[in-house]
Amino acid sequence: MIKIRLKRFGRKRQASYRIVIMNSKTRRDGRPIREVGFYDPISKETRLNTEEIKKWLDCGVQPTTTVKNMLIKANLIK
């Protein structure tokens, strides 16, 4: 199953996350199919490629719970 989920990067104790499309069986830092956004929990900055995320959601891709909450705040899903 393909999911929209977070991929961690950055230094120790200064994590940032990329919002990516990847297979649910792939390891967390594995190779994504597509990168569609960015999230920094320290500065609370979120950047989303809304057009591409909508395209993938229409194809049936399921977001994880954390990403789903981000998409709700961005008014991409209800």
- pLDDT value of residue 55: 95
Q: Are 19 and 67 in contact (CB under 8 A)?
A: yes
CATH number at residue 14: 3.30.1320.10
The model's pTM is 0.87
Note the pLDDT of residue 29. Answer: 83
Range of the domain at 56: 2-73
Number of domains in the chain: 1
Q: What is the pLDDT along the chain (78 residues), one digit of tens a residue?
A: 999 999 999 999 999 999 999 999 988 888 999 999 999 999 999 999 999 999 999 999 999 999 999 999 999 988
Residue 70 pLDDT: 94
Residue 15 three-state SS: strand
> Is 30 inside a domain boundary?
yes
Structural domain includes residue 60: yes
Q: Tell me what pLDDT residue 30 has.
A: 85
Pair type for strands 2-11 and 62-63: parallel
d(CA 56, CA 45): 22
